[in-house]
Amino acid sequence: MKSFIFLCMLSAGIIAKESPASLRQEIRGSASCLCSDHEFDMADIFYFCRSGVESIVDDEVTKRFSAQELESWNLLTRSNYNFHHINMRLTLLWGLGLLTRYGILLPLRVTLAVTGISLFLFFTTLVGFLPNAALRSYLSEKVHMMGYRMCVSSLTAIITYHNRYKNKPKNGAICVANHTTPIDVIILASDRCYSLVGQMHRGLLGMIQSGMVKSSPHIWFDRSEVKDRHLVAKRLSDHVADKTKQPILIFPEGTCINNTSVMMFKKGSFEIGCTIYPVAIKYDPRFGDAFWNSSKCGLVWYLLSMMSSWAIVCSVWYLPPMDREEGEDAVQFANRVKATIAAQGGLVDLIWDGGLKRSKVNDAFKEELQKLYSKVLGCSSPHLCCYE
């Protein structure tokens, strides 16, 4: 008899699972089989089919890379089309909201955004030519704050900051936060200037990055070049060693997650050996979907969809600074910071790498199960088994 059964509650239903057992018992069961335990049985495939279906239903990773579902419709276009045209009254309200958002709010917001970005690029380029370093740094901070706040206004962002006077990041440190959207940068930087670290992009975002680096020490890199990674690590160390420079803002997940969870933090920023200031960001999806699925839409289209929503409402928590403990490696430190951010933001703490958004699962996971099954059949090598 199995020891116990636990129920996994999911939005799609309830899946009953038995307590863990050996792979032999899971596949062959306790009943006697006509064939030898060490011979392949066609019925073995049912275990793998069942496990595959359970994995699909229980999947908590890939659904983090698509828009968050809502329990009720907010009169915006969402990923669940069952919320459209529920009845005539809601349809009329949706039509009036459409006219308001696209006829009034969107033109005003686009005008403000274009004005803010244009002024930002012009003044950052102008400030970059100043020979006096102190004056250049002072004016650069003012220009950045002006640009960030105009962009925040163009999105009608309503931001609530918590513990801003107690735990706001200080110079010579690193600030890390969960990542939902590119506007995470302006959400945080409209309250305090940062030096940014990230991948170099093309198009509109690349043009903005080029303008920013002319007047402020931001660090842009190309992920495709391994040598660049070592250069980035050295530049990070040199930056935090200078206590006169602004704190560095990093999103260790490396990709945007849909505002429901926090995925694995890359360990690079936790190897520097400086104080880490964690920040938790949580968006309210009832007023607008802030998640950017870069594999489906470009930055300009995404920004237009943001500007045509009702508003961007979010909360920002500045958490107490954290230092690496004695005997703690960079991975453990990163996981501890990630867990703190997830707990404060009400997010699910996941161990999976956000890189799965664009890449396949490592073959090592598949090979591990193959090796276990080869032992069930008594094979010395999984490549000799008939399932391969």
pLDDT of residue 13: 44
Question: Is the domain 115-357 a CATH 3.40.1130 member?
Answer: yes
pLDDT of residue 55: 59
The predicted-structure confidence for 283-315, as pLDDT tens digits, reads as follows 988 888 888 887 777 888 888 888 988 889 999
pLDDT band at 258 (very low <50, low <70, confident <90, very high): confident
Q: Is the pLDDT of residue 57 over 80?
A: no
Q: Is the pLDDT of residue 386 over 50?
A: no
For the chain, give the mean pLDDT: 77
Does 32 or 149 have the greater pLDDT score?
Answer: 149
Does 74 or 81 have the greater pLDDT score?
Answer: 74
Question: How far is the C-alpha of 128 from the C-alpha of 16, rounded, in Å?
Answer: 63
Residue whose structure tokens are 């706001």: 168
Domain ranges of the chain: 5-59+360-384, 115-357
Residue 201, classified by CB atoms within 10 Å of its CB into exposed (0-12), middle (13-18) or buried (19+), is middle
Question: How far is the C-alpha of 141 from the C-alpha of 64, rounded, in Å?
Answer: 35
Contact between residue 283 and residue 175 where contact means Cβ atoms under 8 Å apart: no
The predicted-structure confidence for 202-215, as pLDDT tens digits, reads as follows 777 777 777 777 77
Does 178 or 222 have the greater pLDDT score?
Answer: 178
pLDDT of residue 54: 61
Please give the distance of CA 161 from its chain centroid, rounded to a whole number.
Answer: 20
Does 306 or 228 have the greater pLDDT score?
Answer: 306
| Phi, psi (deg, nearest 5) at residue 158 | -110, 110
Helices marked H in the chain: 23-28, 44-57, 88-100, 106-128, 133-154, 164-167, 184-189, 203-213, 226-241, 299-307, 330-345, 363-376
Radius of gyration of the chain (CA): 25
Does 381 or 235 have the greater pLDDT score?
Answer: 235
Tokens at 150, concatenated: 């105009």
* Signed CA dihedral, 12, 16, 22, 23: sign only: negative
327-345 average pLDDT score: 92
What is the CB-side half-sphere exposure of residue 374 using CA atoms within 13 A? 15
CA dihedral 160, 165, 171, 173 (to 10 degrees): -70
What is the CB-side half-sphere exposure of residue 134 using CA atoms within 13 A? 0
Q: Is the pLDDT of residue 131 over 80?
A: yes
221-248 average pLDDT score: 75
pLDDT band at 388 (very low <50, low <70, confident <90, very high): very low
The lowest-confidence range among 86-100, 211-225, 279-293 is 211-225
pLDDT of residue 358: 65
316: number of Cβ within 10 Å: 20
pLDDT of residue 81: 54
Q: Is the pLDDT of residue 227 over 90?
A: no
